[in-house]
Amino acid sequence: MTIHEHDVVVVGAGGAGLRAAIAADEEGADVAMVTKLHPVRSHTGAAEGGINAALRDGDDWELHAYDTMKGSDYLGDAPAIETLAQDAPEEVIQLEHWGMPFSREDDGRVSQRPFGGLSFPRTTYAGAETGHHLLHTMYEQVVKRGIKVYDEFYVSRLAVTDHDDPEDRACHGCIAYDIKSGEVVGFRARNGVVLATGGDGQVFDHTTNAVANTGDGPAMAYRAGVPVEDMEFVQFHPTTLPSTGVLISEGVRGEGGILYNSEGERFMFESGYANNAGELASRDVVSRAELTEVNEGRGFEDEYVYLDMRHLGDERIYDRLENIIHLAEDFEGVNPVEEPMPVKPGQHYHMGGIETNEHGETCVSGLYAAGECACASVHGSNRLGGNALPELIVFGARAGHHAAGRDLGEAEVPTGPSAESESEDSLDTPVNPGALDASDSDVAADGALVEPDELVERAVETERDRIETMLESDGTNHAEIREDLQQAMTENVNVFREKESLKEALEVIRECRERYQNVAVSDPSRTFNTDLIHTIETRNLIDIAETITLGALARDEFRGAHWRREHQERKDDEWLKHTMIAWNDGSPQLYYKPVVLEGENKEYEPKVRSY
């Protein structure tokens, strides 16, 4: 049995994971990164926009914090938001010192630009490929420091003790499948495990996320007893290409691109969705308008609407939007200089995730989370453009430093089931959510007694057995289950949500879970078995889909990205609270904890979110 031992083990090697690993290294810890993709393949590389940070005269972190709180529709926690705003400038300058090729002003300083929802142009960028440069710059630092990277190792289980109360549990490592050799290996983490696994867009069948974004971290943490938070808040982007989900930037509409339906109507205006802003209304408004048109029979091929920029003229298109020509041609086979581009809403970002405090700690000791997989929470019910990348570096760094032993003081955001203020016992679900088999958890059945080393060894054995069973038995192929799950989520838990369809989704998810009981991997190979990896991922998708749907059913209000047909207003009296779901050893428990609106210098007063 192979067990690798390190002080800090970081799972995932995108922006948050790389920053966490560098931070732990800075602190003197022996760090390893374990990642299913080579670091430079991570989806952080796809981020275009930029990094919000208050760097300039006339701007300050309090303005950034205020904008973020307002954008969150008052569902972000003030201590986390203020941490983000306070730490972002130093982190951005740190990237500059590491050589990141930011765009520059005439005076040689890094460029910043305006972004939606910001009161100051503080989005620091590197062309239209900020994420790519952020990812590569940090990976370069990992190489420079000689940090050990286990790439193409798929972490599929955590080694967590099985104390009754999750807050008494401890994480001592994780288990990974070596994709190249087929060996199941253990990672013993003396100080801590940092989850930085990114998004989970593959829950939906149409997403801007990568194929690898399957929510592995949140699913593992959830099954090990860590609550997931605000899972119903999913951001959908209104202009993605139908066949691939590739994002067509808001810049097209910013330059004057128009949306029209199959009757040739410029529906944003003509149907009154947004009489003033039109195509430039906020992402959720445009997404809902597009889908309404399609649902009412005014779409093309019952699927999409057209985004047209031909009238801008060749010169302007080539000058400012050349990148869009390549995207539309390469990924959709459409030349947007000569014909309109088909577009439809696609899943883009998940605000919810693993519950952490502002140090990246979960309620299980030794287990951390940072980046999109985590919920600290800074985005609340809606993320502002340019706030995802600072989240990666700020909370990646904090999780890495803390895991390596740096004292960050007392955290103010409470975590774990003890933070519960109110339980949800009246949720009407058509089927029981959660495990079909009570033993289906990710904690070791150790009676909370064994030593950490043995705990990891036992977890390796459990995981090896699970994998062998999947490889050797006959049964259902995961791809059919995954496809049905993704379709049900897109049909019922998309930008439009209503009680009956959410219930229907829960039924389909339950069916998927039942079918998954008989899942089998048909590729018998021990070498690079992607069939096996995808099969394990599909189980994670089922658990994540269920939490999104449960949260959406529970929250009977309209806040940020979460829209309910029956409940068309934000209900501050009732809903200034986070939706929490705990796995509860297989019988999911829904409860709430209050939003923290008390900041360092002030209390944030909920106001109408209008721009």
**In the range 85-104, which residues lie near other proteins by CB under 8 A?**
89-90, 93, 96-99, 101-104
Q: Which stretch binds other proteins (CB under 8 A): 23-31, 112-120, 128-136, 538-546?
A: 128-136
**CB of 157 vs other proteins, minimal distance in Å:** 22
Break the chain down into helix, strand, coil percent, rounded to 5.
40, 20, 45
State yes or no: residue 571 binds other proteins (CB under 8 A). Answer: no
> Exactly one of 163, 466, 503, 526 binds other proteins (CB under 8 A); which one?
526
Using alpha carbons only, give the angle 525, 530, 535 rounded to the nearest 5 degrees. 105
Nearer to other proteins, 126 or 286 (CB): 126
The terminus-to-terminus CA distance of the chain in angstroms comes to: 58
Do 601 and 62 meet the contact criterion of CB atoms below 8 Å apart?
yes
**CB of 353 vs other proteins, minimal distance in Å:** 20
Residue 564 among the catalytic residues: no
Question: Cis peptide leading into 377, omega within 30 of 0?
Answer: yes
Sorted by sequence, the CB contacts under 8 Å of residue 437 that are 6+ apart come out as: 517, 586
**CB of 92 vs other proteins, minimal distance in Å:** 9
Which phi and psi angles does 422 have, rounded to 5°?
Answer: -160, 140
Taken in order 6, 22, 537, 524, the sign of the CA dihedral is negative
Do 367 and 193 meet the contact criterion of CB atoms below 8 Å apart?
yes
State yes or no: residue 291 binds other proteins (CB under 8 A). Answer: no
Side chain identity, residue 136: H
Q: Which stretch binds other proteins (CB under 8 A): 289-297, 496-504, 518-526, 581-589?
A: 518-526
Nearer to other proteins, 406 or 526 (CB): 526
- Give the Cα separation of 116 and 120 in Å (integer): 10
> Exactly one of 275, 421, 469, 525 binds other proteins (CB under 8 A); which one?
525
Q: Which stretch binds other proteins (CB under 8 A): 32-40, 358-366, 387-395, 403-411?
A: 32-40
> Exactly one of 439, 527, 568, 610 binds other proteins (CB under 8 A); which one?
527
User: Please, where are the H alpha helices in 473-601?
Assistant: 478-492, 499-516, 530-554, 572-575
Q: Name the β-bridge partners of 170.
A: 365
> Exactly one of 9, 33, 110, 394 binds other proteins (CB under 8 A); which one?
110
**CB of 533 vs other proteins, minimal distance in Å:** 10
Of the candidates 125, 132, 54, which has an alpha carbon nearest to the alpha carbon of residue 87?
A: 54
State yes or no: residue 137 binds other proteins (CB under 8 A). Answer: yes
Nearer to other proteins, 43 or 359 (CB): 43
Which of 19, 122, 283, 539 is an active site residue?
Answer: 283
Binders of other proteins in range 305-324 (CB under 8 A): 318, 322
Of the candidates 370, 385, 114, 374, which has an alpha carbon nearest to the alpha carbon of residue 247?
A: 385
Taken in order 310, 311, 314, 317, the sign of the CA dihedral is negative
Binders of other proteins in range 454-513 (CB under 8 A): 477, 479, 483
Binders of other proteins in range 214-243 (CB under 8 A): 241-243
State yes or no: residue 178 binds other proteins (CB under 8 A). Answer: no
> Exactly one of 35, 42, 156, 287 binds other proteins (CB under 8 A); which one?
42
Q: How many Cβ atoms are within 10 Å of 304's Cβ, its own excluded?
A: 22
- Give the Cα separation of 350 and 162 in Å (integer): 29
> What string marks each residue from 243 to 282 as x (binds other proteins by CB under 8 A) or -?
xxxxx-----------------------------------
**Residues designated as active site:** 283
